[in-house]
Chains A and B, each alone.
Chain A
């Protein structure tokens, strides 16, 4: 917690990606969270071809500090027959509370029917679902999420990176204005001046979520983006944690 704000990170990873300096050691992850005032982080493990292996590694990580971490299940569309059984296992047995998908990672657009069972499962269970999004990417452009949000209304659709670039953010805001269950998560290397303010003024403070991409990117920088943005205190509180707490029913 920082200056009285409860902070929930909507976008974090577990796993190692050595060439980028990404290290998911518990101490390193908690150092950035603690010094940045982040109370809770939503995490997923997207690196293993065997989704269950990644989900098990994540479960062990969450078990180490269940007060600080929330697990999101990950599945791979390369093995579609495994997806729903693995989701059931991850939610019912591992205690995960959301789903992560990454369409360009698998070269499968979010509009590909292969994902439909995942979306139906999330809709049936009322789970949040976060996806990588990027403006101009035919596999995960924010505009592709509008019909999905309409078709699966019980899902809180979280657009990771909110379209990524300055141009992508404009597309993401337009998408969020069309449906009530699309959310904009802020993390990106494109930290343009005014980016957070634009998301809030465009889509409303209730629809913007703090996220960092930890431990690929430094959470304190993204906390700083919200803390130094020209927002009302009430809106800052929503973006930093209140909105995600509502989505997670925390």
Chain B
């Protein structure tokens, strides 16, 4: 059975039950088992309840679900129009959280500089990264927000071939934009991105439990990359993005 040759830190996973379907792995033990099967050492996780209903209750629930498991790094969900930045910042700091995930479409606001407001100042200053799904944000809004706060590191997740046309100009125009590769199926895409801009803004993600984590790792291992490039994509870039030492 295939196993990765480098350490892997998954930058796009979820933990916990959903109200609308039963996923195959919704518990800490289930996620860890799936990580072990795919050869993933650590995973950045958020929880669905925080997306759909209540960010603060969901984020507290996430910490309970993680239960101190060191292999699961918590990622809080933020609603820029409903949460209060000062109280939220305290919770983030208290929990050792290093990134937030926004769902503007689900939360019914545009991800514009005027909606992000003081959150952008705080996140850029504190080095807290912002994750947003390509299905949740308009490219123009993403461009405006990432341009407005050059120190804010933004990760665009769930990029699919339907987003291919806007991805290239966004990456050219935004040096602080990173890409989660979990759903990026375009042939030879990762090789082409590495050739154009190097590997430093590419992140392996699994989109687990929606997607199987192993096949994309298999693909990355068959791109002909040297070990440094492969490890950057699978692990080191995310460590650095979260403020650690790779």
Question: Could you tell me which A residues sit within 8 Å of B by CB distance?
Answer: 18-23, 28-29, 31-32, 35-36, 189-195, 214-225, 227-228
Contact = CB atoms under 8 A, between A and B. Distances in A.
28 contacts: A20-B162, A20-B165, A21-B165, A21-B189, A23-B187, A31-B188, A32-B188, A36-B222, A189-B183, A191-B211, A191-B215, A192-B211, A192-B212, A193-B34, A193-B208, A193-B213, A216-B161, A216-B185, A216-B186, A217-B161, A217-B187, A218-B189, A220-B218, A220-B223, A224-B215, A224-B218, A228-B38, A228-B212
A218 B219 contact: yes
Nearest to A27: B188
Interface in B155-197: 160-162, 164-165, 183, 185-189, 191
Contact of B222 (A29, A35, A217, A222): A35
B212 A21 contact: no
A68 to B, nearest CB: 15
A228 B1 CA distance: 6
Chain B interface size, as a band, is: 20 to 34
B185 A217 contact: yes
B189 A221 contact: no
A221 B34 contact: no
Given A193-B209, A195-B212, A220 B222 contact: yes
Given A218-B185, A228-B2, A189 B160 contact: yes
Contacts of A228: 1-2, 38, 212, 214-215, 218
Interface of B: 1-2, 24-25, 34, 38, 160-162, 164-165, 183, 185-189, 191, 208-219, 222-224
B187 A193 contact: no
B212 A194 contact: yes
A215 B183 CA distance: 15
Nearest to A167: B21
A227 B223 contact: no
Contacts of A224: 2, 214-219
Contacts of B161: 20-22, 216-217
A219 B215 CA distance: 10
A28 B211 CA distance: 26
B242 to A, nearest CB: 25
A74 to B, nearest CB: 20
Contact of B212 (A189, A191, A220, A223): A191
A223 B219 CA distance: 8
